[in-house]
Structure formats: C-alpha cells, structure tokens
Structure 1
Amino acid sequence: MARSLGVREKARAVAQTEKVKIMASILVIDDDASIAETLDLYLTEEGYSVRTALTGTDGLNKYVQEPSDVVILDIRLPDVDGFAVLEDLKEENENVKVIMITAFHDMETTINAMKGGAFDYIHKPVNVDELDLAIKKALKSLEMEKKIDGLLMEPSRSFRVGDIIGTGNEMREIFKTIGTVSQSRTTVLIHGESGTGKELIAKVIHNNTSPNEPFIAVNCSAIVETLLESELFGHEKGSFTGAVARKLGKFELARFGSVFLDEISEMSVNLQAKLLRVLQEMEFERVGGKDRVK
C-alpha cells in the first residue's frame, strides 16, 4: 500500500511539474493599483503566472526582460500613451496577444486599438467572464500559430489541423490564414469550387473561436426562395399561411456561434441585401416582425 501511494505521489508531482511547464504567463499593465492587484489575484487563482506593472515604461521593461503570452494593457497610463506601449510591444514581438482595457467607451478608441494590433478590447469595469474568454481565445490563437510555424519548418511532412489533412505550401498558407482570422470574431468569405472543403475550413475557424457555441450550416441552394428568409431570420406567428407559431431563424439559434452559408450566390438580390444588413449592423427582423433582434 505504501509503495502504491508513493507511485501516486510521484505521478502527482510529475503532473504538477507539467502544469508549471505549460502555465501561461500574463502581464498586467494598469496604473490603478487596485485593479492590477485584483486581476493578479484572480488570474493567479485561475492558474496563470502573473506579473503587474503600474506604468507603461515598467511594463515594457518587464516584457523585454521576460516576454509574456498575453498582455492586459490599460490605454490611459501616467507616463506614456497605451497605444504607444501597444506599438512597442508589437515591435518587440509581432505575435504578442494584447488585450486592451479602458474606462472610455468611444468608438474611435476601440477602432484605433484594433487597428494597432490589439487582440481584443474590453471596457471597465472589467467583466471577469469576458476577460477570461478573451484570454483563452488569445492562448488558443498562440497555440495555432505555433503549430503552423512548426509545419512551415517541415515542408515535406503532411500535417493535420482539425479534420483537414494536407501537405504543400498552398495548404500551409491556408492554415496560416485560418490562424489569422481565428483571432477575432469577424465575417469570413471562403471561396472555392464545389467539393474543395469550404465547410471543413469554416468548422476549423469556428472551433478556434467559439468551440462551445453552435455551428449551423445552411445550403442556400437547397431551400426554396420563399422559405429561405424564414430559415435565416425566423418568423412571427401569423406572418404567412402556415406560420402557426413564432420560429427562430438560424442566426438567432447560432447566437454567439457561427453560421456557414453555402452557395450564397443562389440568394435573390433582395435577400442578399437583407443579409448585408446582418453583416454590417449585426441585427435583423423576423419575417412579419417589427422588433430588431441583435
């Protein structure tokens, strides 16, 4: 019994050692000491290796001395503008994942942050669930980038990402593109001949952005025009003959997941215009309804 216990204890020790080896590192740069301390405590409890800095200069110095996987960066700092810190971090390591936080909610600041190369942008007061999700996405993006870098180092070897197996420089470029678009939630156009695996590509992107959310595929050419609008946007009770109850459409059912629209060229011009509004405004109305669904 004692011998068996010793083996288990050794196994636990090895597991703990492995955990330390794979522990992700996070650098928090925020001039508010209470916020920095709170994030330090929370993220440490979540299993991350955390360092903090109260100025942009100190944060940059700490990153240069020991790069972190993820940087949580406040935009307004006492000594230097947060955008300047972001620029310096990206010059030091173009692949660093920077999550910017700020108490200011203006659109221009958000756009500038994303243009500057920020991975994500979160408003104060920080919602820990939102932050936790952003960190996990950032780390998953890093993991994919490392896999792709490894593939590029072995040009003759076949490789697999998700359900896709391939070889050659063309496939490596496709996987690099998948890694890039998976870093943020955005609309993606996948084009190719029938049977080339567009839906497989869509699933890989989905699994790297929101794996726990629904993935819904719609073949636009397989649904008659009169029903396609209802399938996508849903309808209200009594909106047409046979509409005996409210029905939720694919966009509403997917919520924070992904909708893959195959053969969108088969849509009518009128329906394509409605789809464009969804892509631009992220809102729509059910057939026969007046309320906007976001």
Structure 2
Amino acid sequence: MNNTAIEVWLVEDDDDVRQTLLQTLQLSDLPARGFSRAEQALQSLTPEAPVVVLSDVRMPGMDGLALLKQLQARDAELPVLLLTGHGDIPMAVAAIHQGAQDFFEKPFEPEQLLRSLRRAIDKRALVLENRRLRRQLADSRGQTLLLGQTPQIEQLRRQIDNIADTSASVLILGETGTGKEMVARSLHQGSGRKGNLVAVNCTALPESIFESEMFGAEPGAYTGVNKRRIGKIEHADGGTLFLDEIEGMPLNLQAKMLRVLQESALERLGGNKLVKVDARIVAATKVDLQRASAAGLFRADLYFRLNVVTLALPPLRERRADIPLLFLHFIEQAKERYHRDVPPPDAALIQQLLNRDWPGNVRELRHHAEQYVLGVLPSAPSAPDLTLPQHLFRLEQQLILAAMKQAEDNVALAAERLGIPRKTLYDKLARYKHTNGAEL
C-alpha cells in the first residue's frame, strides 16, 4: 500500500490544540482528520482502516488509555501514539508496555512527533500490504499454479486457459528458474486428461540410456533386459509429457520423437511393433531453437512440429511487482515444510528484494524465502562506519536503558543513579524510542 494513503487520526478534546496539530500535520504532507472525543474515532473506525491514531490521554468520557485498549482489541497491529500534558512517567511506561507505539509529553518537539508518525505510517502500510498479499494468496490457491498480478503473467494465464483443453503441442520459452515446469503443470491441470504428467529433463539423461528411458525396451534389447521396459512416453499415455531442456535431446533420437508427435506412436528399443500413445507433448527450452536448428544442433522439422503454440515466460526482473506476493507464498510453503513460524518480512527486506536482478529468477527467490524462514538469509551490506556523534549517542542510549532496567523502570531511581534530572531522563528516553524503537 502507498504510504500516502495512510491517514493520521488526531483525537484531542482541546479545539485550539487540535486545530494547531492538524495544521502542522497537513503542512508536513501528512493527511489528517480530527476528533474531539475518543468515542467518535471508534465509531468511525472500519476493519483494516488505513490510519494511525494520535490521541491525547486526559479527555472527558473515554480517555486515551481506554481508547488504546479498545483499538488494540479491534486491531492489535494498529499504531497508536499518545499525548499528555501532565508529565505522568508511570503512565508513559504503562502505555508503551500496553502496546502504544510512542508517548509524548506536551510541549513536545514537532519534528520528533512527525518522525514518529512517519514510522507509524510506514509500519501500518506494511501491515496492510502483507494482509492484502495473504488474502490474494488465499484467493489464488486452487485456481492457478502461476502467481502474479503483472500484465505478463495475466496474459500468460489467459493463453494457458485458451489452449489447456486442446491437444496442441506447446513450446515454453524462458530463462533458467522462471517456472517453466509450473506452466506445464498448469496446462496439464487444465487439460482434463486423466493420465499422468511425466516430466523429463533431457539434459540430465545420459545419452547411453536416453532411448530406453524415453521409448522403453523389449526383452533382450540389451544386456540385462529380461522383460519389457515401459519408457517415459508410454507412462504419459492419456496424460502429458513434459520435455524440459529439450535442446539436450540427442540428435539421433530427435527423429523418433518427431514420429511420436506426427503419428502418436513409438517403437520400443529392440522392437518392431508400433505402440500407440496418446500423450500431449509440452517442451521447454532456455535457448533459441531456431538458431540451434540453423546451426545443425537441433532438427528443424522437430522444432516446427513442437512450435505449434509458444508460451514465453518473463524473467523475474521484468515482473518485479510480483516479487512480494511470490516471496510471501514461498515463505508460507517453507514455514510448513520446516515447521517454523516467522514474522512477515519488513519493508526494508522487500525493498532489497525489489532492487535485485535475480539471475536465478523465481527459483532463486524461493531459495531466499527458505533462508529467511531458517534464519540464514545473508545480511544486507553493512552501513558506513558511524560518526563520533552517532557512537556517543548509542553509548549514551545503552547506559540509560541499562540504568532503567536495573531500576525496574523507576525513572526517579534511574535518574539519581545517572546523576541527571528526571525531566532530562524522560526526554532522552522519548528520543531513543523515536530513533530506534528501543523498549522503555
């Protein structure tokens, strides 16, 4: 979801404060809507509303903490930020522990508030986008094996729907890892054929056994064959034969495959009898077969017989908009396979995925999803070395948060141990929360 679609809902009973804050938000290009009472905001809230809530604590009727509780009950992932003019430190700590994203004491620094609101907006946009993708995944299951919303994938699905229930031979073109076998499975799934989908990688089969593996063999055809052997093509009778990397098929056997295509029949190795076979042939390649034919590396007549219908699969870099949906789908598969539960990917990771070129295409993306679930996904390039002020800021933060932990969130005791005023400590705690999301 586009972050500009997220609106800030300001709940503030003081008319002057509310109008001033609304003006500040609007001048900062943050869409905002004001409410004078918490009850009004609750009545206006719809499920999965694209909003973040900024509320005063001390208000007549329902106060900010009660509003926080109600909002958390409706949507635990809805960001809520609270304002108070009373310097109530225990209340601030309690609110953060109850789920408030941030807490500000009036008067506050506008830039700090705006930074925190923008982080809340980013978080809300990511949550809603992940929910949308999950719904889309649920809707797509059982309908197609090809996930995606891009025009290329939509067109490919339409082409598959148009030809799936025919007997036409199909040639699938695409780089390694683009999902050519998924296209073959989609064609078989939509064909209505009762037989099997038999997949063969032509490059992986050694030439010495290619003929017997594909066409079968009669007893005595070669040493060790004492009974009839049924080949891959016959196993696909009544179904679909998928020939992946067909450019790897030996030239001397391409004529026999051409006969299968032309006559729907084959001869087993060592036999003379024609065996009828009703198998739909789907082939796939990552090379230019027409150029290979011109170079004498592939039979031209077989190429033209296969090339009745051509389906071209785009590389992942040309359908980047599908990456979040695919990644989430692969995460769900990996969670089930490895019995792991992991949080959804954050915006930074999704952006990294969108920026990659993916030479291994969808297969490489699937491996990344598995690494994410297993907790071994390689880290992004490290950030540049910190400046001295940044190092000092982090050191101060660590010391103060350690003091708060030792004092069990007692601000007065922590401030005394650190030798700083309570007000200074609270200001620093708020600043650390805004900067890094550190827990109080």
In the superposition, the TM-score normalised over structure 2's length comes to: 0.36
- What are the within-5 Å matches in structure 2 for residues 140-289 of structure 1? 140-153=122-135, 154=137, 167-169=330-332, 170=334, 173-176=341-344, 196-197=376-377, 199-200=379-380, 248=388, 251-252=391-392, 255=393, 280-281=402-403
The one-letter code sitting in structure 2 at the alignment partner of 1:141 is K
The one-letter code sitting in structure 1 at the alignment partner of 2:128 is K
Q: 1:81 to 1:49 in 2, by over 3 A?
A: same
Report how far residue 199 of structure 1 moved.
3.6
Report how far residue 216 of structure 1 moved.
5.1
Q: 1:65 to 1:41 in 2, by over 3 A?
A: farther
- The higher relative CO (CA closer than 8 Å, separation ≥ 6) is in 2
Q: Could you tell me which residue of structure 2 aligns to residue 208 of structure 1?
A: none
The question of whether the paired residues in 2 share the 8 Å contact of 1:216 and 1:250 is answered with no
Q: Could you tell me which residue of structure 2 aligns to residue 229 of structure 1?
A: none
The one-letter code sitting in structure 1 at the alignment partner of 2:331 is G
Q: Could you tell me which residue of structure 2 aligns to residue 225 of structure 1?
A: none
In structure 2, runs of 5+ residues without a counterpart are 139-144, 148-315, 317-321, 348-371, 405-418, 421-427, 429-440
Aligned partners of 1:167 and 1:65: how far apart in 2? Answer: 27
How many percent identity over aligned positions?
19
The question of whether the paired residues in 2 share the 8 Å contact of 1:100 and 1:120 is answered with yes
The question of whether the paired residues in 1 share the 8 Å contact of 2:4 and 2:31 is answered with no
Report how far residue 277 of structure 1 moved.
5.1
The question of whether the paired residues in 2 share the 8 Å contact of 1:98 and 1:119 is answered with yes
Q: Could you tell me which residue of structure 1 aligns to residue 351 of structure 2?
A: none
Q: List per-residue Cα deviations over 1:211-230 (Å, max 9, x = no partner).
A: xxx6659xxxxxxxxxxxxx
The question of whether the paired residues in 1 share the 8 Å contact of 2:11 and 2:34 is answered with yes
- What are the within-5 Å matches in structure 2 for residues 120-135 of structure 1? 120-135=102-117
Aligned partners of 2:17 and 2:77: how far apart in 1? Answer: 26
Given the alignment, which residue of 90, 99, 109 partners 2:91? Answer: 109
Q: 1:178 to 1:46 in 2, by over 3 A?
A: closer
Q: Would you say 1:50 and 2:32 are equivalent positions?
A: yes
Q: Could you tell me which residue of structure 2 aligns to residue 79 of structure 1?
A: 61
Report how far residue 81 of structure 1 moved.
2.3
SS of residue in 1 equivalent to 2:61: coil
Q: 1:113 to 1:215 in 2, by over 3 A?
A: farther
**Structure with the largest fraction of strand:** 1
The question of whether the paired residues in 1 share the 8 Å contact of 2:52 and 2:124 is answered with no
The one-letter code sitting in structure 1 at the alignment partner of 2:92 is T
Aligned partners of 2:24 and 2:401: how far apart in 1? Answer: 36
| Greater C-alpha Rg | 2
Give the RMSD, CA atoms, in angstroms.
4.5
Q: Could you tell me which residue of structure 2 aligns to residue 26 of structure 1?
A: 8
Aligned partners of 2:97 and 2:60: how far apart in 1? Answer: 23
Q: Would you say 1:94 and 2:76 are equivalent positions?
A: yes
Report how far residue 167 of structure 1 moved.
2.8
The question of whether the paired residues in 1 share the 8 Å contact of 2:22 and 2:33 is answered with yes
Across the two proteins, how many residue pairs are aligned to each other? 193
Aligned partners of 1:66 and 1:142: how far apart in 2? Answer: 10
Report how far residue 37 of structure 1 moved.
0.5
In structure 1, runs of 5+ residues without a counterpart are 1-18, 180-191, 204-213, 218-246, 260-274, 283-290
Q: List per-residue Cα deviations over 1:230-259 (Å, max 9, x = no partner).
A: xxxxxxxxxxxxxxxxx949732xx47xx9
Report how far residue 121 of structure 1 moved.
1.2
Q: Could you tell me which residue of structure 2 aligns to residue 139 of structure 1?
A: 121
In the superposition, the TM-score normalised over structure 1's length comes to: 0.51
